[in-house]
Amino acid sequence: KRLYENRIMINMGKLFFLIGASGSGKTTAAKILENKRIPNLQVCYFDSIGVPSSQQMIKRHGSVDEWQLAKTIEWAKKIKDNYLQTNNVVLDGQTRPIFIEEACKKGKVDSYEIILFDCKDEIRNQRIIARGNPELANDTMTSWANYLRKECIERGLKVIDTSKISIEQSVSRLLAIIKRVTSNI
């Protein structure tokens, strides 16, 4: 989106929400992308704000969902205010597409895209266990992954299936999507 401000043309960046269940490869891909130091591309991590326990989320926001919505709104506003004037941004996190849509509407983020990193359940569980978080290889995480997959497919969003590809191939596919829809990378 182009805005004219004091006769200087400014290209507004695009916000890419990189979502997926734990073990899908999204954070590893985001870190590799960040290490590439691509001009005009900022990488942010949803969890860098700290993720309280479910009990704390409920106490502060009424439910886990309301916490997730509130934090998605905060992130969209923070990114718009601090980065989108000059950069494209990838936000790595676990949030619902409907929350992203609401956050972007409330935060007046007009240019955004949702990309799901997904994989087969057994592969995700193997990855989670291998990285030392066996407590996350459970039915709740499987349900979350299935929900995200269903929502993203129904909405016609981009899905990168990382089940049978290397992390480098996952990053290449992510970067190809970003380059296809931006003009300044």
Contact 117, 19 (CB under 8 A): yes
- Sign for the pseudo-dihedral over CA of 45, 49, 55, 58: negative
Please give the model's pTM, rounded to 2 decimal places: 0.90
Q: Write the pLDDT tens digit of every residue in 67-105.
A: 999 999 999 999 999 999 889 999 999 999 999 999 999
H or E segment to which residue 152 belongs: helix 139-154
Phi, psi torsion values for 23, nearest 5 degrees: 90, 0
End-to-end CA distance of the chain: 15
Q: Write the pLDDT tens digit of every residue in 98-147.
A: 999 999 999 999 999 999 999 999 999 999 999 999 999 999 999 999 99
Question: Quick one: tokens of 26?
Answer: 């999204």
pLDDT value at position 154? Answer: 97
Please state, rounded to an integer, the average pLDDT across all residues of the chain.
Answer: 91
